[in-house]
Amino acid sequence: MGKNVVTSYTGGVNESIVVNIIRRQGPISRVDIAKLTGLTAPTVTNISGRLIASGIISECAEIGNEGKPISGRPRILLKINPEAANLIIVDIRSKEMTGYIVNAGLAIKEKVSVDLRKLEPEKVMAALEQIINKCISSELGQAVSAIGIIVRGPVLHKEGISLFSQSFGWQKVSLKFSLEQKFQLPVFVENDMRAIALGAYYYGKYYGYKNAVMLGVGWGIGAGIFVNGQLYRGISDIAGEIGHTIIDIHGPLCSCGKHGCLETFASEAALVNSVVSAPNVNISLAAKLADGDLSAILPEHIYEAAAKGDELSIKMLQNIARYLGVGVANIINFLNPELIIIGGGIVRGRRFIEEILLQVISEQTLDSTRSSVKVEYSAEGREAYMKGIADVVLEGIFLTSR
């Protein structure tokens, strides 16, 4: 396997700090790096010189809005060298697995997908190895530095263990160990909710907020929690499993084995279940969009039906909003964040849930916490997941390559 800049680079702690600032916020000046890190100007100058010599970063001239030249002498800024590293990223979803080759600038260079719908759960691991092999066998794959894996469900990030996956029947599957043994590359594993939180936070419009919660509401519910600008993982590395907080001890059985979890009431899975089990579902537009097959009803059918005025779909989305409002209110009361970002598939139903959700939040939060928080919606797509896990991989590379 070929070498690239990162695999041959040996730096220190301060170098890692500077590199991570540059790749997340660059192009950026040396003066601004010193302000953000607390390092002295000479230290930043020396570090940046070594990083330029190593090919990790490069200099560029400051440009104005819309790429126009600025008046006067432009500042010299620092940016990550996109060719400093190539990464393999694999996003494992219930129905599809997609592999990417991504450079250090987070540009997708190659992409390959595998359909999992007709694949037995016990063969998913073999499919994962196959898709990594396809990436490695490509021309760019010969200079890969590391592998990043996104999975659904709770993950022990440091150990790279998928604790459980309802889709594949996984229980404590050590992805990191298995893949590192096979491919002899560093492997980093993250769950989908923390991946999209990292992608939206570091590479979206939310980076200025120090204390924020990215709440992902899809088939399940999870969160990325940022405290003082850093992702909070917790002592056991699974912080953010807000979907498994109990809101009704006598509630439905959850995939985790407990009863009454938030995601049994407020997730897309709960939305589908509520529509399918409704007495009048057969005459609903959601059922018609699924060709009358109730087992084939998907969240997108419900969102489309609601947008076309289907009463059942609208009613069930509003019910979801009430429970989701309770979950968000609990987060606000407990963590007192500056910002709550709601993302995931549920955003497609925003027009039907927003008013009720805000009403419940207003009713269920303390005055002092409610007045200091903003609630926003993010329609981040797959690119945010990819950027999030790539950020994890790059941070790991630059922290461990010294």
Same domain, 90 and 79: no
Same domain, 335 and 353: yes
**18: CATH:** 1.10.10.10
From the list 155, 125, 354, the residue with the least C-alpha distance to 236 is 155
pLDDT band at 193 (very low <50, low <70, confident <90, very high): confident
Q: Which domain holds residue 285?
A: 205-379
What pLDDT score does 277 carry? 96
Q: How far apart are CA 16 and CA 5, in angstroms?
A: 14
Same domain, 352 and 244: yes
Contact 344, 382 (CB under 8 A): no
Question: Does 1 map to a domain?
Answer: no
**265: CATH:** 3.30.420.40
Q: How far apart are CA 6 and CA 80, in angstroms?
A: 12
pLDDT for residue 34 is more than 80: yes
Same domain, 95 and 144: yes
Q: Is the pTM of this model over 0.75?
A: yes
Looking at 84, 117, 140, the residue that finishes a domain is: 84
Same domain, 240 and 374: yes
Question: Does 133 map to a domain?
Answer: yes
Question: Does 33 map to a domain?
Answer: yes
Same domain, 278 and 329: yes
Contact 315, 305 (CB under 8 A): no
Ramachandran angles phi, psi of 27, nearest 5°: -65, 140
Question: Does 76 map to a domain?
Answer: yes
Number of structural domains the chain divides into: 3
Same domain, 99 and 57: no
Question: Does 240 map to a domain?
Answer: yes
How do beta strands 212-217 and 96-103 pair? unpaired
Contact 385, 196 (CB under 8 A): yes
Give every strand in the sheet of 187-191, ordered side by side: 108-115, 96-103, 86-92, 144-151, 187-191
Question: Does 151 map to a domain?
Answer: yes
Question: Does 118 map to a domain?
Answer: yes
Q: How far apart are CA 64 and CA 71, in angstroms?
A: 9
pLDDT one-digit tens code per residue, 86-103? 999 999 987 889 999 999
Same domain, 69 and 112: no
Residue 79 is which amino acid? K
Same domain, 215 and 270: yes
Same domain, 175 and 242: no
Neighbours of 293 (CB within 10 A): 8
Same domain, 78 and 106: no
Question: Does 289 map to a domain?
Answer: yes
What pLDDT score does 1 carry? 45
Same domain, 140 and 34: no
From the list 208, 167, 211, 156, the residue with the least C-alpha distance to 340 is 211
E-assigned strand segments in 121-260: 144-151, 155-156, 161-165, 170-174, 187-191, 212-217, 221-227, 230-232
- Rounded mean pLDDT of the chain? 89
pLDDT one-digit tens code per residue, 309-360? 999 999 999 999 999 999 999 999 999 999 999 988 899 999 999 999 999 9
pLDDT one-digit tens code per residue, 247-265? 999 999 998 889 999 999 9
